[in-house]
Amino acid sequence: MPLETATGAVRTGLIAFAFLSYLILIGIPGRIGGPALPVLALIAALFFWLKLRRESNEPSREATGQRQDSFDDKPGWEIGPRAASKGSRLRDLLHTHSGTAPILYGLLAGLTTGLLIAIVSGIFAAAMGNGIAIQPVLDKIVPLNVAALIGVSPGQIAQSDVSFIRFIFQVLLFAGAGVLAGLTAAGGGYGLKQAAFLDRLTTHLSGATLTSAGRFAGMALPFVLLAYIAWLGLPGVTAFGTNEGTVRLLLTLIATGSGLFTLRLSRPGREQMAVAVLLGLGVFSMPFILDQFQNSVMGLVFIFVMMGLGLNIVVGYAGLLDLGYVAFFAIGAYTYAFLSAPFSSPYISGLLILLGISPESPLLGYWMALPVAMLTAAVGGILLGIPVLRLRGDYLAIVTLGFGEIIRLFMLNLGELTNGPRGILEISQPALFGHTPVDVTFGLLSSQGWIFLLALVSSALVAFVATRLNESRLGRAWFAMQEDEDVAEATGVHLVRTKLLAFAIGATFAGMAGQLYAARQINIFPENFSLFVSIDALALIIVGGIGSPAGIVLGALALKGLPEVLRGVDEYRIVTFAALLVIMMIVRPDGILPSARRRIQSPDPEEAGAAGEPELREEDPGLRENGEALAKGAGVREEDP
Amino acid sequence: MTALLSIQQVTKVFGGLTAVDSVDLDIAERSITSLIGPNGAGKTTLFNCMTGLHRPEGGEILFSGRSLIGLRPDEIIDRGVARTYQNIRLFGRMTALENVLVGQHLRLQASHWSAVLRTSRQQAEERAAREFGRELLDFVGLSGREEVVSTNLPYGDQRLLEVARALGSRPSLLLLDEPAAGMNPSETDSMMDLVHRLRDEKGITVFLIEHDMKVVMSISESVAVLDYGEKIAEGTPEEVRSNARVIEAYLGPEVAVQEAAVKAVH
Ligand SMILES: Nc1ncnc2c1ncn2[C@@H]1O[C@H](COP(=O)(O)OP(=O)(O)OP(=O)(O)O)[C@@H](O)[C@H]1O
Ligand SMILES: [Mg+2]
């Protein structure tokens, strides 16, 4: 095996180990218990397999310079209709590889991961066996996890009667996982020349049948999950005996996320329409089948989806890095709070009394307040936009960051107007035809379910508007501005108008999200609107895939939903996300579900120009003719820089 | 005959360097005019002054009798002055057709609300824009390349696409900054043909910067020469070719004769 392949395998092993450490850190093995190690090994195998597939795909990706429009083109995701035809191309490409290479690769990667796991769990086991106290926070989960990894009960570790064989077993297990991955990859395309039997088998079975079976299985997943979630909601049914609420939440997150993949797996046309309708029905039934806790989490997730979609207009479409996005969220929330909560500042109540309105009762209901909150946020967006029109890149980021903080400090310190750190309490709830939703639906829809439903509908609306705008001339102007601001202007894009529109529309969506957030929280405080909200919103679009609404939903599920599943290990949230982000960026640098535009790796335009020109010019046959023209006394063309 | 574009005493200074020095130049309607001069003579800077990228320190630029000074670049292209760039500046991640659609941006009227609602008028406008975009790509010789992402186009095609994008705004004056730079002879020939067709079929006045003397001499009806920011000559290609100051500017006083002899041998 060539040296680069070997180092590549070791590196793959290291990345797998990093990812598994993350899973261990957030306490997954402890929760799984006995079968933890095989599960981790399987995850590692999956990772190796993806890696092997990706590597075998790389040349074909470079060869086809065209934009990858279909999700199926992304290596590792070829369950779709295109997989069959792709196989043969792969086969041609890989004939140079020897059949054993992927197996050795997998073995080496697996050995690396397994050794590291064994060493780390060994160290921890030894430490615990010798009674060395680990940091108090770690103590809560480490023993359980280490025990699960080694396959003993926590008590046994303390007695230090863990036999050495168990660690050997760990290494072997991961090595085996690696070999398995290698074998699978070989069967799937690598070693087909050698594995003539497999070749014949797949030909006979016709790839199409297999892949379409896999495709339909994948497409069925969200519906199966939804049915299971609904079943779990029935009285007297329990999941795995423990932690029922969390399990249901996790399944809900997976069902929602896999729904997006299902949509991509379906063939465009009638099939896609049918799937979309079914998915829509499924998703909109969720608020009715989940309980208060799950609904409140999903509500938050979709409030952040709205935020992400809005921020995506500014950052993803127009390319303006805005770190103060929370400001508009806060403006929306506080506007609604002012209009609907009993608290009223002395100024406002004075004004109200003058106008003959009682300051005690809420001024406007949710629906009447909605346009006001949106408008206020939009004005905020324009007010922020004007001073930063001429700023680019880092400078823009810093100034907007400041703006976000200013609004929060404003809410904090203008006590007379905003009630300062005591916040605004008892914000009224959105009504459904003038009644509470629980009454109207005969208890089917809980109050949090109602918020979730509203968040879903608003997100769908926002996604619709954002997508339509992006596909119009405005979207093209935004993208042109992102590509080259000066040229965009010289091509006829009115920069001021186009930028302010991005800021204003983005802010409007954040204002909507903020209003719903205020209704969900009932009481809001300035610290709800810290810098971290901006960072969360930005992180979720980066993780999900900048510019892609589906990616944003996935990002929100991962970043706002998962932590709630992991409530028990709250201390690790920040570490968790750092790790998750880093891994994400290594594995899928363009996000989980990137937009088509983001997927083409364009070289820097200036570089391209510089690289292209001199080459062409050196052997420019026109030079000689120039010389002749010059001889007639015209002039010399000097070498261009 | 009145000039379509009239540059009067335009001066542009960068720090201590006068890149364009009191240049006067008239461009007749439906003419093909070349601007030549050694590297750093200020040719591109003059283009930048005309398209609003730079604001000249002095002078006046009249287009169809109205001043362009102080207008924003997007207002200038709206008046009918479009351009291409010496170092290709396409919107790299957009397809060829999308580039041309951005070129048409300011000719599209549909409101953003109508884009959200996809009204029939907005849809009709988009369809027409796509149709026109395809026509333009066809006109410059890029038919069949509509969906290719522009960075993936061959170098020569990128230059053609810049022309097509500029045409999207339906200009009456087109400024081409070294359109044939880096092209092979056959590409150069088709670019020259394209310039002729721009004028003959579309009635567009062309003002171009070019280093390739073969192109300049065969294509232009009049030639202006810049050196160190100053216009040192103007006239028909024949007049400029035999102008003593031009030869000197290009070759330097002593080496002029030597250099010409060497080139003749090749
Ligand atoms: N933005 C700028 N800031 C400072 N100096 C500049 C700027 N743009 C151009 N210059 C200078 O002005 C002079 C004229 O440059 P310009 O690009 O107009 O030359 P040119 O005639 O187009 O040359 P070339 O044939 O190389 O394209 C050069 O000395 C250049 O360094
Ligand atoms: Mg130049």
pLDDT band at A89 (very low <50, low <70, confident <90, very high): very low
Q: What is the largest CA-CA distance in chain A?
A: 100
Burial label for A523, CB within 10 Å (0-12, 13-18, 19+), is middle
One DSSP character per residue, A371-404 reads HHHHHHHHHHHHHHHTTTTT--HHHHHHHHHHHH
Closest CA to A15 of A54, A58, A44: A44
Interface of B with A in 92-151 (CB under 8 A): 92-95, 98, 101-103, 105-108, 110, 112, 115-116, 118, 122, 126, 129, 147-149, 151
- Count of pairs with CB atoms under 8 A, one residue in A, one in B: 198
- What atom of ligand 1 comes closest to residue A640's alpha carbon? 26
Question: pLDDT per residue over A263-276, tens digit each?
Answer: 877 778 888 889 88
Which pair of structure tokens corresponds to residue A133?
């106290």
Which residue type sits at A103? Answer: I
CA distance A397 to A404: 11
pLDDT band at A350 (very low <50, low <70, confident <90, very high): confident
Rounded to an integer, the average pLDDT of A539-561 is 88
pTM value is 0.75
Residues 6+ apart with CB under 8 A from B45: B12, B19, B20, B54, B229
Question: pLDDT per residue over A577-624, tens digit each?
Answer: 667 667 766 767 777 777 765 444 433 333 333 333 333 333 333 333
A507 within 8 A of A380, measured Cβ to Cβ: yes
Which residue type sits at A481? Answer: M
Closest CA to A223 of A180, A179, A254, A197: A254
Which pair of structure tokens corresponds to residue B263?
């080139």
Which pair of structure tokens corresponds to residue A37?
């190690």
Burial label for B261, CB within 10 Å (0-12, 13-18, 19+), is exposed
In chain A, what are the helix, strand and coil shares in percent, each to the nearest 5? 75, 0, 25
pLDDT at A425 over 50: yes
B240 vs A362, higher pLDDT:
B240
Note the residue count of chain A.
641
Q: Which of A469, A617, A630 sits opposite B115 (nearest CB)?
A: A469
**Cβ neighbours of A603 in B, within 8 Å:** 92, 151
Q: Cα distance from B28 to chain A (closest Cα, Å)?
A: 23
A217 vs A75, higher pLDDT:
A217
B96 φ, ψ (degrees, to nearest 5)? -55, -45
Residues 6+ apart with CB under 8 A from B204: B30, B167, B171, B172, B173, B174, B198
Quote the pLDDT of residue A73.
38
Q: What is the C-alpha R_g of chain A?
A: 29
Kindly list the structural domains of chain A, giving each domain's residue range(s) and its CATH number in brackets, ordered by start: 3-186 (no CATH), 291-598 (1.10.3470), 600-639 (no CATH)
CB contact under 8 A, A634 and B169: no
A262 vs A58, higher pLDDT:
A262
Average pLDDT, chain A: 76
CA distance A491 to A504: 23
pLDDT at A88 over 70: no
The ipTM is: 0.92
With the CA atoms of A238, A242, A245 and A250 taken in that order, what torsion angle do they form, in degrees rounded to the nearest 10?
A: -100
CA distance B164 to B156: 13
CB contact under 8 A, B74 and A620: no
Closest CA to B24 of B38, B13, B35: B35
CA distance A28 to A146: 11
CA distance B224 to B237: 9
Residues 6+ apart with CB under 8 A from A632: B241
Q: Which residue has the tokens 């397994």?
A: A114
pLDDT band at A70 (very low <50, low <70, confident <90, very high): very low
Atom 24 in ligand 1: residue holding the nearest Cα: B39
CA distance A148 to B26: 85
**Cβ neighbours of A600 in B, within 8 Å:** 93, 149, 151-152
Q: Would the CB of B42 count as within 6 Å of ligand 1?
A: yes
Cα B261 to the center of its chain, rounded Å:
33
pLDDT band at A318 (very low <50, low <70, confident <90, very high): very high
Question: pLDDT per residue over B179-223, tens digit each?
Answer: 999 899 999 999 999 999 999 999 999 999 998 888 898 999 999
Quote the pLDDT of residue B107.
94
Rounded to an integer, the average pLDDT of B44-73 is 95
CB contact under 8 A, A476 and B53: no
CB contact under 8 A, A494 and B74: yes
Buried b (16+ CB within 10 A) or exposed e, A309-341: bbbbbbbbbbbbbbbbbbbbbbbbbbbbbbbbb
Flag whether residue B217 sits within 8 Å of chain A, measured between CB atoms.
yes
B167 vs A343, higher pLDDT:
B167
CA nearest to B108 within chain A: A473
Question: pLDDT per residue over A357-404, tens digit each?
Answer: 776 666 788 898 999 999 999 999 999 999 988 888 788 888 999 988
